[in-house]
């Protein structure tokens, strides 16, 4: 077989060299096909010698598979016929395509001049199974594995005592915070502005219970307790006087109207837990449920979150017509808190609004603000509570409270300048715990 192949090659080379087409300008300017074949045969011979001498052959290139058509038995391939019939040009940028072009050209000349040497076709080789064909035929399985598997059940086997309990999601969220703050003031004897030494301690408690079913209904509840006292050296009748002194409960029921806008019903109740007296007297100024204010009103509630990291959040609740109750249980305190003598309660109607905001200035500083406004068209009350928390450690915080109040419901609330503005300011440091 090998000798016949070599004789065929030499015969083909001899016949092609004698042809006039080989000497055309196109062949001279492109690639010398015979020099390529000779070079290829020389490299094959070198590889054979290296193999026989058991020497390394890694430095020599591997045989080129593109030459298998001219090195194998003469076969009629379809690619040379397509190339000649289509008059394909040989100007390929790819060297491998150029090689294939000249191999097909050489085989076409063989078919035209020596057809007797071609003993087989490409189709006959495929029929012999020497070329790989993809298997397109479906594999039919006579026996189904599902039929060999025994009967099984997907239901787990449980004890008869096991009971299945369906639990609804808990839409309630509870949280709160508590803080115990201390402050101390000292004035020298020659302090030109006056003042007296004092110690103060304040206790703050906030509890929240909020319900949100993530659809339409919301119910927010907040309970606030502030109790505090400071030493009173100038008061001969008592050692301590109350400072922080408030109980406040706020509840708001909301039904979603549009995105962040809800229909709402708000209830705000406020009083003070500790009794308070005028300095150096036993005259009572206020006590538990004297006074007590209650505001109930339907309206609209709007929630918002501003800033890139949503550091500024809050909600606004507006009631256009609200019911206001002011109750004073102690007889001697009725006129002090703006009620007619002999009456313990007043019932009025008017607008009200509450604005609650939280601004997280940074990780260590948080400003909480609450504005509570109510009116009955005869008097106005604006309570603006501001609390700034400075976080020192996880448990130690400093707290600044600024609480201005404008209330013209009673002449007793006027200051020396005849204005109805009251102000409470306190800076302290202490313990804080959130849960």
Mean pLDDT value of segment 264-281: 91
Cα dist. 135→127, 138, 139, 279, 292 in Å? 15, 8, 10, 105, 91
* Nearest of 267, 262, 283, 285 to residue 275 by alpha carbon: 285
Tokens of 404: 């201005």
Residue 391 CB partners (closer than 8 Å, separation 6+): 363, 364, 365, 366, 397, 432
Q: Are 322 and 295 in contact (CB under 8 A)?
A: yes
Confidence of residue 22 (pLDDT cuts 50, 70, 90): very low
State the pLDDT at residue 61. 53
Tokens of 59: 């430095």
State the pLDDT at residue 385. 93
Mean pLDDT rounded to a whole number for the chain: 80
SS in 3 state form for the chain? CHHHHHHHHHHHHHHHHHCCHHHCHHHHHCCCHHHHHHHHHHHHHHHHHHHHCCCCCCCCCCCCHHHHHHHCCCEECHHHHHHHHHCCCCCCCCHHHHHHHHHHHHHHHHHHHCHHHCCEEHHHHHHCCCCCCCCCCCCCCCCCHHHHCCCCCCCCCCCCCCCCCCCCCCCEEEEEEEEEEEEEECCCCCCCCCCCCEEEEEEEEEEEEEEECCCCEEEEEEEEEEEEEEECCCCCCCCEEEEEEEEEEEEEEEEEEECCEEEEEEEEEEECCCCEECCCCCCEEEECCECEEEEEEEEEEEEEEECCCCCEEEEEEEEEEEEEEEECCCHHHCCCCCCCCCCCEEEEEEEEEEEEEEEECCCCEEEEEEEEEEECCCCEEEEEEEEEEEECCCCEEEEEEEEEEEECCCHHHCCCCCCCEEEEEEEEEEEEEEC
Sketch out the chain's domains with CATH numbers.
Answer: 2-127 (no CATH), 172-434 (2.40.230)
Mean pLDDT value of segment 291-314: 91
Judged against a pLDDT cut of 70, whether residue 4 lies above it is answered with no
Judged against a pLDDT cut of 60, whether residue 322 lies above it is answered with yes
User: Of the ranges 29-33, 177-181, 288-292, which one carries the lowest mean pLDDT score?
Assistant: 29-33
State the pLDDT at residue 350. 92
Q: Is 132 exposed, middle or buried (0-12, 13-18, 19+ CB in 10 A)?
A: exposed
Mean pLDDT value of segment 216-244: 89
- How many other β-carbons are positioned within 10 Å of the β-carbon of residue 35? 9
| C-alpha span between 16 and 10 (Å, rounded) | 10
State the pLDDT at residue 267. 93
Chain centre distance of CA 132: 53
Residue % of the chain over a pLDDT of 70: 76
Judged against a pLDDT cut of 70, whether residue 250 lies above it is answered with yes
Higher pLDDT, 43 or 272: 272
């Amino acid at each position: 077989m090998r000798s016949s192949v070599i004789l065929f090659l030499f015969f083909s080379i001899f016949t092609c060299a004698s042809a006039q087409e080989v000497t055309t300008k196109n062949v001279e300017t492109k690639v010398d096909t015979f020099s390529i074949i000779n070079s290829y045969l020389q490299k094959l011979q070198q590889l054979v010698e290296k193999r026989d001498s058991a020497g390394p052959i890694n430095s020599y290139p591997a045989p080129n598979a593109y030459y298998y058509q001219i090195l194998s038995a003469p076969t009629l391939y379809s690619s040379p016929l397509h190339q000649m019939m289509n008059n394909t040009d040989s100007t390929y940028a790819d060297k491998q395509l150029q090689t294939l072009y000249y191999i097909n050209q050489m085989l076409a000349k063989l078919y035209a001049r020596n057809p007797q040497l071609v003993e087989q076709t490409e189709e006959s080789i495929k029929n012999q199974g020497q070329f790989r064909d993809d298997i397109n035929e479906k594999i039919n399985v006579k026996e189904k594995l599902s039929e060999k598997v025994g009967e099984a059940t997907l239901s787990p086997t449980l004890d008869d005592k096991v009971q299945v309990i369906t639990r609804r999601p808990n839409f309630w969220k509870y949280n709160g915070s508590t803080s115990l703050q201390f402050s101390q003031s000292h004035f020298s004897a020659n302090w030109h502005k006056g003042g007296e030494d004092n110690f103060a301690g304040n206790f703050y408690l906030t509890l929240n219970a909020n319900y949100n079913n993530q659809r339409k209904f919301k119910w927010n509840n907040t309970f606030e307790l502030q109790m505090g006292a400071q030493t009173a050296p100038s008061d001969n009748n008592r050692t301590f006087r109350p400072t922080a002194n408030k109980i406040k409960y706020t509840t708001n029921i909301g039904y979603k109207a549009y995105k962040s806008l809800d229909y709402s019903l708000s209830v705000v109740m406020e009083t003070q837990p500790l009794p308070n007296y005028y300095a150096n007297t036993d005259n009572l100024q206020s006590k538990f449920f004297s006074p007590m204010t209650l505001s109930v009103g339907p309206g609209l509630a709007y929630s918002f979150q501003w800033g890139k990291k949503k550091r500024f959040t809050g909600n606004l609740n507006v009631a256009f017509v609200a019911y206001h109750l002011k109750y004073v249980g102690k007889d001697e305190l009725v006129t002090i808190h703006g009620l007619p003598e002999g009456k313990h309660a007043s019932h009025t109607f008017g607008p009200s609004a509450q604005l609650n905001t939280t601004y997280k200035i940074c990780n260590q500083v948080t400003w909480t603000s609450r504005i509570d406004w109510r009116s009955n068209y005869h008097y106005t009350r604006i309570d603006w509570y501001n609390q700034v928390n400075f976080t020192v450690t996880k448990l130690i915080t400093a707290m600044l409270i600024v609480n201005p109040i404008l209330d013209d419901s009673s002449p007793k609330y006027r200051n020396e300048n005849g204005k109805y503005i009251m102000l409470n300011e306190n800076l302290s440091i202490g313990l804080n715990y959130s849960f």
